[in-house]
A and B are shown apart, each in its own frame.
Chain A
Amino acid sequence: DAGVIQSPRHEVTEMGQEVTLRCKPISGHNSLFWYRQTMMRGLELLIYFNNNVPIDDSGMPEDRFSAKMPNASFSTLKIQPSEPRDSAVYFCASSLKGVRTDTQYFGPGTRLTVL
């Protein structure tokens, strides 16, 4: 089975540009999560979707960040305009809510560098 798919794997952009990160969750999973990982702040939850509906977006840093999940097999995280402090690895994860462990399966991540 294919795992969580993310694209691009690496993104280098200049400050002020729009960045769009993409995620395809595992088929059949009903929960999707976007995380950001940096050395300073660790692994932070940005937003959580259940059945394509945003449930908790309290981790979204500011209005420059937005996330959508138009259907069960696709989600995007957009940063507009990007800033150097947004440089991080962004992970998408999916899970099947209701299973005992709610194990989250992470994608390979997108390493974002904003110059």
Chain B
Amino acid sequence: GQSLEQPSEVTAVEGAIVQINCTYQTSGFYGLSWYQQHDGGAPTFLSYNALDGLEETGRFSSFLSRSDSYGYLLLQELQMKDSASYFCAVRDLGYSTLTFGKGTMLLVSP
């Protein structure tokens, strides 16, 4: 089976940088994804890492260390609209299924 750990809540101010960590335990690992979910909305895809290193997409970056079973999502130049829940998810070997962490609620204040 798989399990993922991420902080339940993170707070930051507009313009700041925040890092959301995710550690995972899995019997088979293919990649680590990040999804964003605004209150009352649906999860939407942000980024994906299959190999070690940093992936950058605009203000968001995601990092993976397979040897440490660890990844993080980095959000720069925070905006109020970034207030949302952020989920890390591991993809199963072979299947296309994802196991999601419990999510990190990010609160961005003025």
Does A25 belong to the interface (CB within 8 Å)? no
Q: Write out, one digit per residue, whether chain A residues 64-108 have a CB within 8 A of any chain B CB (1) or not (0).
A: 000000000000000000000000000101010100111111111
Does B83 belong to the interface (CB within 8 Å)? no
Does A45 belong to the interface (CB within 8 Å)? yes
Q: A56-B95, A56-B97, A91-B43 are in contact. Are A101 and B102 (CB under 8 A)?
A: no
| Chain A residue at minimum C-beta to C-beta distance from B48 | A101
In the bound complex, what is the Cα–Cα distance between A61 and B30 (angstroms)?
26
Which of A43, A56, A102 has a CB less than 8 Å from the CB of B100?
A43
| Chain B residue at minimum C-beta to C-beta distance from A101 | B48
Q: A42-B102, A91-B42, A105-B45 are in contact. Are A48 and B96 (CB under 8 A)?
A: yes
A33 touches B48 (CB 8 A): no
In the bound complex, what is the Cα–Cα distance between A108 and B38 (angstroms)?
11
| Size of interface on B: residues with Cβ below 8 Å to A | 20
Does A50 belong to the interface (CB within 8 Å)? yes
Q: A42-B101, A42-B102, A56-B95 are in contact. Are A100 and B45 (CB under 8 A)?
A: no
B97 touches A45 (CB 8 A): yes
In the bound complex, what is the Cα–Cα distance between A33 and B100 (angstroms)?
13
In the bound complex, what is the Cα–Cα distance between A108 and B5 (angstroms)?
26
Chain B nearest CB, measured from A38 CB (Å): 11
A42 touches B103 (CB 8 A): yes
| Chain B residue at minimum C-beta to C-beta distance from A106 | B42
Can you pick out 17 interface pairs between chain A and chain B where the beta carbons lie within 8 Å of each other? A31-B96, A42-B100, A42-B102, A42-B103, A43-B87, A45-B98, A45-B99, A48-B95, A48-B97, A55-B95, A95-B96, A103-B33, A104-B43, A104-B98, A105-B45, A106-B43, A108-B42
Which 3 pairs, one residue from A and one from B, show the smallest C-beta to C-beta distance? Answer: A106-B42, A101-B48, A43-B100
